[in-house]
Structure 1
Amino acid sequence: MSEDRPATTDLARLPKELVDRLTRPFAWFLRIEAAGGAVLLLFTVAALVLSNSPWGHLFLDAWETRIGLQFGPLEFGRSLRDWINDGLMTLFFFVVALELKRELVLGELNNPRMAALSIAAALGGMFVPAALYLMLQWGQPGEAGWGTVMATDTAFVIGCLALLGSRVPQSLRVFMLSLAIVDDIGAILVVAIGYSSHIAWGALALGALGVAVVRAMALTGVRSIPVYFAAGGVIWLAVDSSGIHATVTGVILGLMTPARRWVSDERLYAILGGVVAHPAGDEGSGDTKDRRTLQVAEIAARETLSPVERLEISLHPWVGFVVMPLFAFANAGFPLSSGDVDASITFAVFVGFVLGKPVGVLAFGWLAVRSGIAIRPPDLDWRLLAGGGLLAGIGFTMALFIAHLAFSKDLIDSAKLGIFLASAVSAGAGLALLTWLSARRKPADRDRG
C-alpha cells in the first residue's frame, strides 16, 4: 500500500516539462520587487548614453518616426514616441487603477481611516510641489509645467524600499505603495484636465456610451476578457479623438473592473468534488459527462480569483518589464552638453520634488491624523514618514510623461535635467535617512526583546 503513495502523489501534481526549468527562475525574478526598478534604470541609462553618443541624433530622431493607418481621406497616425506615451501608457494606468481598486476593496485601504492617511499625504505631495513650482515660474516660459512635479514614480520607490529589506516595517511599504498609486491617479486627472486640447463633445459622448456598454456587459454577466479589451480599444479611440488625453481610459476601465470573485471557495470545492475521473481507453474527446464536469471545474478554478486579481497578475509583468522600460528608453534621452538649458526651470523642478514632496506628504499627513480623519499605524512613526516623503520626490516616469505634454521642445531638456537631479537626490536622501533610522532602532528592539 505504501508503495502506491509516491505514484498517487505524483499524479496529484501537474506534469513537469523542460520549459518549467526555464520559466521557474524567470517567475522568481518577476517576484523581486526591485527588479522592475532595476530594468527601468537600465533602460534610462541606455537612453542617456545613446542620446549623447555619436549616434545621438539618429537615436532621438527615430522616436519621431510617424506610424499610422490611412483609409482613404482618413488618417490615424502619430510618432513612435506618441504611440508609446498615449497607447502603451494607457495599459500602465489601467494596471495602476487595478492596484488601487484591489487595495480599496481587498487591501489595506479597505479601512477608510487607514486609506485617508495615504490619500491625504498623496494630495499634499501633489499640491505643495505644484505651488512651489508656480511660485518660482510664475510669468516665466515654464509656467505651464506645474504638473510635472506632482507625480511619484512607483517602481523606483518600491525598488528603494526593497533595497532596505526588513529594516523598514511593512506598514511603510503599504503606505508608500498606496501613496504612489493615488499619486498616479491624480497625475492622470491633471493630464486630463490641465493638458488636454479642445474637447470634441461628440467623440467624448461616444466614449461615454462605450463606458456605459462596458458597465451593461458586466451587469449582464459577460465574462470574456478579450471582449472587454475590444470595447476598451473602441473607447480609447473615441476619447483620443475627443481631445482628452486617451490614457484616462485606462484609469476609468481599471476602476470599473470587478474586485469580487464570481466563484466562492465552497462552490469550487463542491464542483471539484463532482469531478469524475476520465476513464482510460481510446474513447475520443466526445461530449461526455466527465468532460463537461472538467470544463466546469476549469472555469470555477479560474473564477475563484476576481477579475482585478487575474488581470493584475497577467498584466503587471508586461507593464513592469516592457511598457515602463520602453517608455523610459523613448523619453529619458537628451543631450547633456546642450547649452540651451534654462536653469530656472531645472531649479523649479528640483525644488518642487526635493523640498515640496516631503513637506507636502508630512504636512497633509499630520493634519489628517491631527484632525481625526486618518489613523497612523503604531510602527509607522513620523521619522519613517519623513524618509518616505523624501523617496516620494522620485518623480521620473510620470514626471517625464507630463513634461512631454507641458513643455515645448526647446524647454523639455531643462525639465528632464531637473527631474533626473531631483530623483537622484531624493532617492539618496530617502535611503540615507531610512538606513540611519533602522540602525538606531535595532538596539532598542534588542532591549525590548
Structure 2
Amino acid sequence: MFAYEIAARRLLRTRLCGDLLNGERNIVRDKNKLDGLPPEIVDALTKPFARFLRIEAVAGGLLLSFTLAAIGLANSPWSGPFLDFWETPLGVHWGQFDLTRSLRHWVNDGLMTLFFFVIALELKRALVLGELRHPRAAALPIAAAAGGMIFPVGIFLLAMDGQAGAGGWGTVMATDTAFVIGALALFGAAIPASLRVFLVSLAIFDDVGAIMVVAIGYGDDLDFISLGLAAGLLALLLLLARIGIRSMAVYSLLGVAIWLCFDRSGIHATITGVILGLMTPAGAWVADQRLRPMLYRVIAHPKGENRSGDTSDGKDLRLAGRAIRESLSPLERLEIRLHPWVSFAIMPIFALANAGVAFSGINFNEPILLSVFTGLVVGKPLGVLLFIWLAIRLRFATMGPSLDWGYLAAGAFLTGIGFTMSFFIANLAFTSALLPAAKIGILAGSAISATIGIFILLLRIHIKKR
C-alpha cells in the first residue's frame, strides 16, 4: 500500500527536477501550450477526489462479496463456529487494568476508528481544498444530508411507536459511500460528474453526523477523569504540532492513548478518528518556492559524486528528501496511505464480522425489521429530496452543473443504502434478540434502495439519449 505514496513522491520529484534541468525546453513547451486552454486550479483540486472515487468503486464490489460470504456462512452448516469466532475474547489483563474485548468489538471500535479518521480527512480536504470550499456548493449536500437523517428517524420512531428497540433510531441515518460509488460506477461517463460529487459529499456528511450521534446517544455513563485526560492529550497534540514535531510515530502513539481515554470515558471511542481527522493540518510545511532551490543544490553536484556520510552533498540530499516528503500536507499523505487499507481491508473485515445473520426463525413481520426497512427506503429519499427543494427554493444552495431532478431522485434513493454505519449503530442499539431482525431490515432496505436508484438512473439515461 505504501507504493501509492512512493509513486506520488516520485511524480513530484520528477516534475520539480524536470523544471530545473530542462528550463529552456519547458519554456518552449509552455509557449506551445498557449494554443490550448489555460490550466485551471480546479484540475489539481479534483485529482484527489478522482482517486477517492476509483478506490471506493472497487471497494464497493469487494464489500458486496464479503457481505454475501458472511450471509452464506451464517446460513450454512458452519454457522455456529463462524458466529462464535467473532465473540472470541482478545486483549490485555493486568491487575485492575482490563482491556479484553471480543474480536467483533475490536473490529467495530478499533479498526473502524481508522474508517472514521479517513472520512474526516476527506471531509476536511473537500471543505478546505476541494469541491466544497465554496459555501453555496457545500450547502446542497449539507441540506440533503440533514433531510436524509431527520426524515428516516421520524418515520422509524412513528413506526415503532414506543416499542422495544425504538432507541435504535440512529440505524436509519447514514449512507454507505462505497456501495453508492460502486452503483454509480456501473454507469461510467453516462452520468454527470457533479452527481458523484454531490452523493459522495452527502454520504460523508451523513457518516460524520451519524458518528456524532453514536458518541452522544449510544455511550455509557461519563467518566470525567478519562475525558479530562483525553482533552489534555489533544492539547498536547496541538502543542507538538505548534512547535514543529512532525513524526507520524509520535502522533500515532498519542492517537492510541487518546482512543484508550475515550474508550473508558463513556463516549464511543470511534469519535477519536473524527476529532483527529479534523485536526490534521491541510497545508504543506514546505512550499514549492522553498523546495526548488533545495533540489537545485542536489542536482547541481557532479554526477556519480559520493554523497554518503557527513558531507555537504549528503546533507543536501537528506534535506531534499525531507523537503519532498513535507511538500505534501499531512492530510494528503495520511489519506493516500490509509484510504486503500480502509477500503480493501478494514471495511471487508467489518462486513464479514457484522453482516452474517441467520434467516431461520426470523419473523419477517417484526416491527423493528419493517421500521428499519421503511426508514431506509421511504424516509431517506423523501427527506433528501424535500430538503434539496427547500435549499434551492430559499436560495441557500444551487443545483450543480448537469444535474436535474431525475438524477437527484436516483441519488436520493441510493442514499437508502445504509449498510456500514447502519450495522455499526445496530450493534450498539439493539439487544441480541432484536439484532437479527434489524440486520435483515438493513440488508433488505439497502438492496431495494439500490435497485430503485439504479432503475431511475437507467430510465433517466435512456430518456436523455432519446
Quick check: 1:76 aligned with 2:102?
A: no
2:151 counterpart (128, 136, 155):
128
Alignment of 1:234-245 (within 5 A): 234-245=257-268
- Cα separation, 1, equivalents of 2:327 and 2:460: 42
Name the residue aligned to 1:333: 356
Deviations 1:408-431 (A, max 9, x none): 000000000110011111111111
Q: Which residue of 2 aligns with 1:5?
A: none
Does residue 280 of the first structure (1) align with residue 297 of the second (2)? no
Q: Confirm or deny that 1:387 pairs with 2:410.
A: yes
Query: Out of 364, 381, 396, which is 2:419 matched to?
Result: 396
Corresponding residue for 2:368?
345
Partner of 2:324: 301
Question: How far 1:60 sits from its partner (Å)?
Answer: 0.3
Report matched runs for 1:182-197 at 5 Å. 182-197=205-220
1:321 aligned to 2:344?
yes
Deviations along 1:302-342, whole A, 9 cap, x unmatched? 12211111100000000000100000000000111124566
Q: 3-state DSSP class of the match of 1:67?
A: strand
8 Å CA contact 2:407, 2:457 repeated in 1? yes
For residue 189 of structure 2, what is the aligned residue in structure 1? 166
Q: How many residues align?
A: 418
**Does residue 257 of structure 2 align to residue 267 of structure 1?**
no
Give the 3-state SS of the residue equivalent to 2:406 in structure 1: helix
Name 2:171's counterpart in structure 1: 148
CA distance in 2, matches of 1:382, 1:233: 45
Deviation at 1:397, TM superposition (A): 0.7
| Equivalent residues of 1:122, 1:361 under 8 A apart | yes
Q: 1:36 aligned to 2:59?
A: yes
Are the equivalent residues in 2 in contact too, given 1:278–1:291 (CA < 8 A)? Answer: no
CA distance in 1, matches of 2:293, 2:461: 49
- The Cα offsets for residues 348-402 of structure 1, whole Å up to 9 and x where unpaired, read as 1111001111111111111111112112123111221111000000001110000
TM-score normalised per structure 1:
0.90
SS across alignment from 2:91: strand
Superposed CA offset, 1:102-144 (max 9, x none): 0000111100111011111001000100000000002111211
Q: How far apart, in 1, do the equivalents of 2:241 and 2:52 lie? A: 34
AA of the residue aligned to 2:301: A
- Provide Cα deviations, 1:54-94, integer angstroms capped at 9, x if missing partner: 11011001101111101123211110000000000000000
Q: Equivalent residue for 1:52?
A: 75
Question: Which of 392, 395, 414 matches 2:437?
Answer: 414
Q: Mind listing any 5+ residue stretches in structure 2 that lack a counterpart?
A: 1-13, 19-50
CA contact under 8 A between 1:192 and 1:245: conserved in structure 2? yes
Structure 1 unaligned regions, length at least 5: 1-8, 14-27, 444-449
Distance 1:197 1:56 in 2: 31
Of residues 217, 223, 232 in structure 1, which corresponds to 2:246?
Answer: 223
Amino acid at match of 1:77: T
Q: Distance in 2 between matches of 1:119 and 1:379?
A: 19
Are residues 342 and 62 of structure 1, via their aligned partners in 2, closer, same or farther at CA, if it must alter by over 3 Å? farther
Identity of aligned residues (%): 56
Partner of 1:447: none
Q: CA deviation at 1:289?
A: 1.1
Change (3 A) 1:124 1:284: closer
**What corresponds to 1:438 in structure 2?**
461
Q: TM-score, normalised by structure 2?
A: 0.87
Task: Tell me if structure 1 keeps the 8 A contact 2:307–2:317.
Answer: no
Please point out which of 97, 112, 119 is paired with 2:142: 119
- Partner Cα separation in structure 1 for residue 258 and residue 271 of structure 2: 10
Post-superposition Cα deviations, 1:281-311, rounded to whole Å, max 9, x if no partner, equal 7x58211111111111111111221111110
Contact 1:261–1:306 (Cα < 8 Å) also in 2 = yes
